[in-house]
């Protein structure tokens, strides 16, 4: 009986809304906006992807084509790594614009990842970026609130609700039915967006489509689906509770503003004050202090390296480093790289912990704010979230370290201790074939399960909200009919 009511109310909402011209116009406008944003962002991403591929290839070729030379020259020649974006970035560009895109990897030091889009953008970027995710996360809920604020309250105001109840309907039927109708209306925006995204994925990047990507996309769609249902239920519930349509509208708009605009800003501003992150200069000073403590591998009188030298000479039972069976300079640099990387990573780890705490502050806000929760989930799944970026940085640093140490190893093994003496080929320089043997930077994206492990909390929050609202609607007998 009730399921019948639900169907009737849902159909009634859908049919009456679709008869209204403004609703149809809005549907068209939103579909158009989403199409345009998906397509343009896809174009931008594809372009970017080509640039990354093209320049990465060039860097690799140049690396391999380096002539015979001393391996430490190669360690300074270093490598350029360009940040690849996950193919779903076109759906949600997340923090892409604020992330550096290229990093120069070389021995002895960790360079920043530079040239973010934001550093070449005007202040307008801070208003947000035109993307499907922005439209879906922020504006579609507003649309749902516009359409739904008076769905129950108006019926009460004009007395229809009274009649409906005398005909055997109850609150659960009314609320669920109207929620469903409103939800289906929202689906007229979301489903086309979904189909269009799928088409873009399928037709243009066939090589990138794999089960990982499809799982991410699948969960992305499910999450958004849940999110819209949440928003529809919220709109209907508020409409049912409010004394008047106007009151319902004001409440819903208040909720929207608070969720989308005010709470995230307050959370981050508070997070910044509570967990202040060091500026670049403060961080550099700390790193330098750590490095000074370690000693200076370039300084022959440095106590740490003096000690190292003595012990190496003792083990090999020789008097001078020239008599060692390996290249001592390379050995020292290897030790130096190890120590300085460790010191840097220790400092960076601390910085990351601060960022983590700051980001958790935002996640915490997500518990009372489904708009933040969906943002987190969406970014993570689209590969444009914080975890993905940090993973990229870590992989690049790992590659830098292995490059520097590989070159040190080559020097230790193949370069003579005595300048001008040769071990193989020409003195002091190595054959270029060694360069090609060092593998290219092979960036791997986080797996689906790693992403889930990062953002399960936000997913739970959305489910929790759904459950909470469900219970509210289910036990909503006390609402007023008249």
Binding residues for another protein restricted to 292-351, rule: CB under 8 A:
296, 299, 351
Nearer to another protein, 283 or 448 (CB): 283
Q: Which of 53, 351, 91 is nearest to 218 (CA)?
A: 91
DSSP letters of 117-138?
Answer: SGGGS-GGGGG----HHHIIII
Nearer to another protein, 340 or 469 (CB): 340
In the complex, the smallest distance separating the C-beta of residue 44 from another protein, rounded to whole angstroms, is 6
Mark 258-295 as b/e (b = at least 16 C-beta within 10 Å): ebbeebbeebeeebeeebebeeeeeeeebbeebbeebb
Nearer to another protein, 102 or 472 (CB): 102
Site string for another protein, 198-237 (x = CB under 8 A): ----------------------------------------
Interaction between residue 89 and another protein (CB under 8 A) = no
Q: Which of 412, 394, 386 is nearest to 341 (CA)?
A: 394
Please identify, among the stretches 172-180, 262-270, 405-413, 447-455, the one whose residues bind another protein according to the rule CB under 8 A: 262-270
Q: How far apart are CA 368 and CA 373, in angstroms?
A: 9
Interaction between residue 40 and another protein (CB under 8 A) = yes
Coil vs helix vs strand at 430: strand
Burial of 139 (0-12, 13-18, 19+ CB in 10 A): middle
Nearer to another protein, 170 or 428 (CB): 428
Q: DSSP state, 208?
A: G
Interaction between residue 119 and another protein (CB under 8 A) = yes
Q: Which of 49, 60, 69, 338 binds another protein (CB under 8 A)?
A: 69
Q: Which of 44, 339, 367, 466 binds another protein (CB under 8 A)?
A: 44
In the complex, the smallest distance separating the C-beta of residue 315 from another protein, rounded to whole angstroms, is 30
Binding residues for another protein restricted to 409-428, rule: CB under 8 A:
none
Q: Which of 35, 55, 443, 448 binds another protein (CB under 8 A)?
A: 55
In the complex, the smallest distance separating the C-beta of residue 467 from another protein, rounded to whole angstroms, is 27
Coil vs helix vs strand at 478: coil
Site string for another protein, 159-198 (x = CB under 8 A): ----------------------------------------
Q: How far apart are CA 312 and CA 324, in angstroms?
A: 9
Coil vs helix vs strand at 112: coil
Q: Which of 98, 165, 196, 438 binds another protein (CB under 8 A)?
A: 98
**Residues making up the chain, counted from first to last:** 482
């Amino acid at each position: 009986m009730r399921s019948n009511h639900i169907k009737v109310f849902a159909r009634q909402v859908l049919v009456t809304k679709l008869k209204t011209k403004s609703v149809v116009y809005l549907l068209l406008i939103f579909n158009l906006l989403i199409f345009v944003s998906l397509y343009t962002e896809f174009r931008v991403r594809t372009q970017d992807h080509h640039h990354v591929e093209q320049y990465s290839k060039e860097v690799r070729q140049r690396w391999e084509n380096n002539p015979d030379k001393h391996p430490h020259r190669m360690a300074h020649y270093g490598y350029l790594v360009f940040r690849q974006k996950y193919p779903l970035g076109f759906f949600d560009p997340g923090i892409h614009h604020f992330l550096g895109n290229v990093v120069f990897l070389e021995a002895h030091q960790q360079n920043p990842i530079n040239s973010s889009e934001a550093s070449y953008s005007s202040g307008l970027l801070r208003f947000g970026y035109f993307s499907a995710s922005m439209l879906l996360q922020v504006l579609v809920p507003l649309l749902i609130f516009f359409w739904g604020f008076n769905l129950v309250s108006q019926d009460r105001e004009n007395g229809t609700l009274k009649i409906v109840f005398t005909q055997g309907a109850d609150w659960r039927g009314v609320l669920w039915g109207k929620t469903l109708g409103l939800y289906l209306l929202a689906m007229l925006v979301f489903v086309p967006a979904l189909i269009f995204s799928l088409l873009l994925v399928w037709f243009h990047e066939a090589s990138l489509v794999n089960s990982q990507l499809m799982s991410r996309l699948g969960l992305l769609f499910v999450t958004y689906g849940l999110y819209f249902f949440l928003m529809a239920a919220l709109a209907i519930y508020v409409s049912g509770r409010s004394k008047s349509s106007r009151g319902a509208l004001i409440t819903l708009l208040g909720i929207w503003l608070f969720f989308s605009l005010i709470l995230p800003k307050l959370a981050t501003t508070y997070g910044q004050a509570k967990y202040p992150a060091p500026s670049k200069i403060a961080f550099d000073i700390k790193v330098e202090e750590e490095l000074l403590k370690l000693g200076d591998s370039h300084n022959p009188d440095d106590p740490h390296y003096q000690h190292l030298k003595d012990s190496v000479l003792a083990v090999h039972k020789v008097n001078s480093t020239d008599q060692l069976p390996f290249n001592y300079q390379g050995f020292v640099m290897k030790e130096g790289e190890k120590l300085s990387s460790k010191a840097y990573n220790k400092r960076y780890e601390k910085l990351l912990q601060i960022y983590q705490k700051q980001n958790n502050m935002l996640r915490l806000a997500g518990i009372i704010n489904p708009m933040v929760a969906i943002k987190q989930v969406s970014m993570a799944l689209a590969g444009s979230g914080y975890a993905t970026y940090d993973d990229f940085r870590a992989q690049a640093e790992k590659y830098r370290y292995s490059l520097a140490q590989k070159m040190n190893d080559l020097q230790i093994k193949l370069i003579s201790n005595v300048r001008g003496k040769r071990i193989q080929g020409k003195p002091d320089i190595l054959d270029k074939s060694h360069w090609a043997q060092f593998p290219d930077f092979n960036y791997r994206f986080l797996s689906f399960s790693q992403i889930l492990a990062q953002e399960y909390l936000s997913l739970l929050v959305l489910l929790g909200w759904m459950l909470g609202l469900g219970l509210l609607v289910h036990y909503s007998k006390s609402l007023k009919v008249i």
